[in-house]
Amino acid sequence: MTEQTVTTAPDALLHAVTSSDVDTVELGHPYTTGMPCSPNHPGFRMTLIRRHGDMVRPDGGSASNEIIVTGGHVGTHVDALSHVSHCGKLHGDIDAEEAQRGGRFSELGAENIPFMLRRGLLLDVPRVRGVETLDAGQAVTEQDLRDAADAAGVTPRRGDVVLIRTGWARYFDDAQRYLGQQDGVPGADVSAAQWLADAGIVAAGADTTAFEHIPPGKGHSVLPVHRVLLVENGIHIIEHLNLEDASARGLTEFTFVMAPLRITGGTGSPVRPVAVVPA
């Protein structure tokens, strides 16, 4: 038998990412001790437990390390489908009480959140409205998303990740204003959530703590958009995004990349999402 040399065409994706033809845009916040988070969750804390010089090896080497304590829904993160139930049921009519026995979810845990290499869309609602940021407690409706999609020249479709900009990330360093316990927070209402679900997207994200519309004085007492997306449609929610750089660059359609931690039985995971765009 004559030996044959098998040749393969260069991987187009590998060529693209190793060339100077692409750039990445950060879509999240750095993790910082004391950063704002929902009052329903324990906050992020990081401190060094060993400093350089605490222990020096015979050859002069030294190492430093830290301890990190955080809830799964703090900072830029993604919700697992186990995060929210309705009338005792998770997505797929799974019994929530039974699934959470033993201190972790036996079904729909964070280890099942998929790695996402998807078409991403940025729906920039303030840009369409001609403002820098939406008002506190302002609802983002289906029509707002349609208008933003039309302005961007895009249409959400099956498998997409859709990110909604409200402009609220600019208040991230002002925890009281950002969390909006008194004045509310802008975000998607049920009509917007249903429009996204009808398009068949796999994940939706926003630059706020709860993704959805928080009316003044209501806090996180009722979260109907979480029910529509997570429970009824199995759509993951990404929160605490920072979409200001993406907006400044005029992004509308891009390659979205996000890798959740595979936290077995968890209800969410920290993430570092990026948009991959032409340089």
Find all residues with CB under 8 Å of 258, minimum gap 6, and list them. Answer: 78, 115, 116, 161, 203, 238, 271, 272, 273, 274
**pLDDT exceeds cutoff 90 at 191:** yes
In this structure, the number of other CB atoms found within 10 A of the CB of residue 218 comes to: 15
**pLDDT exceeds cutoff 70 at 106:** yes
Residue by residue, DSSP assigns 227-266 as: IIIIIIH--EEEESB--HHHHHTT--EEEEEE-----TT-
pTM to 2 decimal places: 0.93
Per-residue tokens: 27: 């879509």
Nearest by Cα to 254 from 270, 243, 240, 265 = 243
Predicted pLDDT of residue 1: 43
Of 1-5, 7-11, 123-127, 222-226, where does the model show the most confidence? 123-127
**pLDDT exceeds cutoff 60 at 5:** no
pLDDT in tens, 127-138: 999 999 999 999
CA-based angle 65:67:68, to the nearest 5? 130
- Percent helix, strand, coil in the chain, to 5, is 25, 25, 50
Predicted pLDDT of residue 9: 54
Residues β-bridged to residue 255: 119, 276
Please give the Cα distance from 200 to 203 (Å, whole number): 9
Cβ atoms of 67 and 50 closer than 8 Å: no
With tokens 């998770």, the residue in question is 90
**pLDDT exceeds cutoff 80 at 117:** yes
pLDDT band at 11 (very low <50, low <70, confident <90, very high): confident
- The helix or strand, by DSSP H or E, that contains position 224, with its residue range, turns out to be helix 224-226
Predicted pLDDT of residue 14: 79
The predicted model gives 256-263 an average pLDDT of 98
Per-residue tokens: 2: 């004559």
Instruction: Kindly calculate the radius of gyration of the chain based on its CA atoms and give it in whole angstroms.
Output: 21
Please give the Cα distance from 235 to 193 (Å, whole number): 10
Predicted pLDDT of residue 220: 77
The predicted model gives 142-151 an average pLDDT of 98
Please give the Cα distance from 112 to 92 (Å, whole number): 14
Burial tier of 39 (Cβ tally within 10 Å: 0-12, 13-18, 19+): exposed
Q: Look up residue 65 and give its amino acid.
A: N
Please give the Cα distance from 225 to 205 (Å, whole number): 12
